[in-house]
Structure 1
């Protein structure tokens, strides 16, 4: 099982890939998203998105300056205001 992850800025699609898990800097606190996560929408604060390609792998991090995250049956989409 893999999570479909997309990271988008107003200028372009930054990432679109299958990953194991993503940790997101929500305004109410960080949260992790795995395949099968319940649908939700959250605003994001400035922080780092941690992308785990496989279980147990070291994360790749991408800094962003706020935005919105949407989790749906299709996966996780992050609409970043801009990358930090």
Structure 2
């Protein structure tokens, strides 16, 4: 079971990979996305995206600034205004 995760900025694609779960800093609070999540859109605030490659694994943290997230049939896409690193 895996979730397709893409992280992009206006300038480039930062990530495109299969993961277990992603936790996103939504403007109304953090939310986690697993495979099969219902379609959903949210703006995101400055913060940290946590990417879990497997169940129970320690997350990889990616700092982002602004943007939005969309969950659809193809997985989770995060369009961030800026990604550190």
Superposition TM-score, scaled by structure 1 size: 0.98
SS of the counterpart of 1:45?
coil
- Deviations for 1:26-45, whole angstroms, at most 9, x for unmatched residues? 00000000000000100000
Number of residue-to-residue matches in the alignment: 84
Structure 1 residue aligned with 2:51:
51
Q: Does 1:30 align with 2:26?
A: no
Give 1:83 deviation, angstroms.
1.3
Mark the runs of 5 or more structure 2 residues left unpaired by the alignment. none
| Runs (4+) off by over 3 Å | none
Distance of 1:68 and 1:49 partners within structure 2: 12
Distance of 1:16 and 1:56 partners within structure 2: 21
Structure 2 residue aligned with 1:63:
63
Structure 2 residue aligned with 1:74:
74
Give 1:73 deviation, angstroms.
1.1
Q: Does 1:41 align with 2:41?
A: yes
Distance of 1:80 and 1:40 partners within structure 2: 16
Distance of 2:56 and 2:6 partners within structure 1: 21
RMSD after superposition: 0.5
